[in-house]
Amino acid sequence: MLTDSRGSRVSASVQTAYVEALRQVGVAVDHWFLPAASVLHHDLQLPGILAAFTWLMSDDRN
């Protein structure tokens, strides 16, 4: 999950709680804090694409 700590659409605390809930039921989740574009600090499209590409190219996939 990608989060901007200054995000105003979905707060970082809500996203962090979601990640922790997923982890508690056994879901492996990476949670990265990155600066987002836009006034709302919500546009993480480019970092998301880069993160997906990095994951696809990694040996960490199962």
pLDDT tens-place string over residues 32-62:
888 887 776 677 888 888 888 888 888 765 5
Has residue 14 got a pLDDT over 90?
Answer: yes
Output the pLDDT for position 59: 74
What is the rounded average pLDDT of the residues 18-38?
91
- Helix, strand, coil shares, percent, the chain, to 5: 40, 10, 50
Give the per-residue pLDDT at 61: 59
**Is the pLDDT reported for residue 21 higher than 90?**
yes
Query: Contacts for 37-44 with beta carbons within 8 Å, 24 or more apart?
Result: 40/7, 40/8, 40/9, 41/4, 41/6, 41/7, 41/8, 42/4, 42/7, 42/8, 42/9, 42/10, 44/2, 44/3, 44/4
